[in-house]
Structure 1
Amino acid sequence: MSFLVGHNMTGGYGGADILHDCTIGVEKGEIAVIVGPNGAGKSTAMKATFGMLNLRQGSVMFDGEDITHLKPEERVVKGMGFVPQTHNVFTSMTVEENLEMGAFIREDDISGTMAQVFDLFPILKEKRHQPAGELSGGQRQQVAVGRALMTRPKVLLLDEPTAGVSPIVMDELFDRIIEIARQGIAILMVEQNAKQALNIADKGYVLVQGANRFTDTGEALMANPEVRKAFLGG
């Protein structure tokens, strides 16, 4: 049983199912990546594990507990952090205020965690008094990830963290994601840059039309000729 697993999930928004018997999961300290064509249900599958849509069938288990019926905010308290793809910073607030907002569920001293985030993303320390709305796209993503880390999550869900950033910034973000996983945090990530994401993945899920098409290690999926041809550009 994985540390976090959405098992045999079927559901969607309104009457139409987007997910069809879909299973995704991740272990502590592991990076699991969800890839597939546009409209495959990648973000929906991850959001389902965070409680953002009701499942008609299936379950979500987290750290040995059934959390299928918990609201997203209750899952945050349990130790889940979620970084949406867009609208993921408070633009009028400073970088430091954004990070403080991430610690809303905590009643202890947050300065140690803030220092860890600044160690991970040095540019944020430099710009901590600057409004987040003035930052570049890549820097905003760092703020969003940093804010999620302020809750001290056991698992971090990232919805296309490198969308719209340059290749250099993408490589930097992936390096930081690897560092976060090394701290024992489980990372479940949706990525359009499938080849680069599978390169750093311990586990990969290829979804097509809301269902699992391939599940394997990142390395095995990269080496699979069918996956390469259909999803990785040959």
Structure 2
Amino acid sequence: MSFLSATGMTGGYGGADILTDCNLSVERGEVAVVVGPNGAGKSTAMKAVFGLLNLREGSVVFDGDDITRMAPQERVRHGMGFVPQTRNVFVSLTVEENLEMGAFIRDDDITESKEQVFSLFPILAEKRNQPAGELSGGQRQQVAVGRALMTKPKLLMLDEPTAGVSPIVMDELFDKIVEVARTGIAILMVEQNARQALEIADHGFVLVQGSNRFTDTGEALLANEEVRRSFLGG
């Protein structure tokens, strides 16, 4: 079984099911990417993995434990870090204070973790005393990822990390995500920039109407003619 194995996920927000028999998985040190058209249920699938959506059917097994009924805050303590797409920084707090907020579950010395984040994102070290609300969109995303890393996660989940940023910033963020994965952290990422995301993905999941349409390596999905034509713009 995979390090994270979410199988048969079926459920919604009280009405009709948004997810139907949806499966996602990722191994330690790998990048798994969830792509698909708008309304495909990508972010909903991510929320289901994190416990923000009650599943009617299916299970989520993480690091050998069935966490299907575990509350989101318990999943954080179990080793999950989640970065939502919007409202993912405390705009009135400084960069450093945002990072410190990320360590709320820890009672050990966080200095080394903070320096690791500053090493990964040097611009944050420069702006450590600046309110996060004054940063650019790309810099805010770095703060959000850095804050999640402060929990020392075993799995980092990112919901549209490059939304609203320039192509250059997108490439930089993807490079950093690969760098994080190389430290042994599993990455599960929902991304609208499908082609670029699949280029860095070990595995990819193409969702359509809440179900898996294609599942393969990132390289194989990029080479798949139907995937290219239907989801990657040719």
Q: Same fold (TM over 0.5)?
A: yes
Tell me, in whole angstroms, the C-alpha distance in 2 between the residues paired with 1:23 and 1:179: 26
- Residue of structure 1 equivalent to 2:196: 196
Render the CA deviation track for 1:81-138: whole Å, top value 9, x for unaligned.
Answer: 0000000000000000000000000000000000000000000000000000000000
- Residue of structure 2 equivalent to 1:47: 47
Give yes or no for the alignment of 1:32 onto 2:57: no
| Residue 14 of structure 1, CA deviation | 1.1
Letter paired with 2:26:
V
Render the CA deviation track for 1:142-192: whole Å, top value 9, x for unaligned.
Answer: 000000000000000000000000000000000000000000000000000
- Residue of structure 1 equivalent to 2:178: 178
- Residue of structure 1 equivalent to 2:156: 156
* Residue pair 1:28, 1:184 contacting (<8 A) in 2 also: yes
Render the CA deviation track for 1:40-99: whole Å, top value 9, x for unaligned.
Answer: 000001110000000000000000100000000000000000000000000000000000
* Residue pair 1:5, 1:49 contacting (<8 A) in 2 also: no
Q: What secondary structure, in the 3-state scheme, does the structure 1 residue paired with 2:48 have?
A: helix
Render the CA deviation track for 1:170-226: whole Å, top value 9, x for unaligned.
Answer: 000000000000000000000000000000000000000000000000000000000
- Residue of structure 2 equivalent to 1:99: 99
Equivalences, count: 234
| Residue 6 of structure 1, CA deviation | 1.0
| Greater Cα shift, 141-150 or 12-21 | 12-21
Give yes or no for the alignment of 1:125 onto 2:154: no
* Residue pair 1:30, 1:185 contacting (<8 A) in 2 also: yes
* Residue pair 1:33, 1:201 contacting (<8 A) in 2 also: yes
- Residue of structure 2 equivalent to 1:136: 136
Tell me, in whole angstroms, the C-alpha distance in 2 between the residues paired with 1:36 and 1:15: 22
| Residue 15 of structure 1, CA deviation | 2.1
Identity of aligned residues (%): 79
TM-score, with normalisation over the residues of structure 2? Answer: 1.00
Tell me, in whole angstroms, the C-alpha distance in 1 between the residues paired with 2:174 and 2:81: 17
Tell me, in whole angstroms, the C-alpha distance in 1 between the residues paired with 2:88 and 2:164: 14
Unpaired runs of 5+ residues, structure 2, are none
Render the CA deviation track for 1:1-20: whole Å, top value 9, x for unaligned.
Answer: 11011111000101210000
Tell me, in whole angstroms, the C-alpha distance in 1 between the residues paired with 2:129 and 2:89: 14
Letter paired with 1:18:
I
Which 4+ runs in 1 deviate beyond 6 A? none
Please tell me the root mean square deviation across aligned C-alpha atoms, in Å: 0.3
Tell me, in whole angstroms, the C-alpha distance in 2 between the residues paired with 1:15 and 1:56: 11
